[in-house]
Amino acid sequence: MVRAVLDSSAIIALSQLGYLDRLRGIFSEALVPRAVYEEICFRGRGLVGERELSEAIEAGLISVRDVRNRVLVNALLDPLGLGEAETMALALEESADYAVLDDKLARRRA
Over the stretch 28-72, which tens digit does the pLDDT of each residue have? 999 999 999 999 999 888 888 999 999 999 999 999 999 999 999
Name the 3-class secondary structure at 17.
helix
Q: Is the pTM of this model over 0.75?
A: yes
| pLDDT above 90 as % of the chain | 80
Single-letter amino acid, residue 22: R
Q: Give the separation between CA 36 and CA 26, rounded to whole angstroms.
A: 20
- pLDDT, position 79: 79
Q: Write the CATH number of the domain with boundaries 3-109.
A: 3.40.50.1010
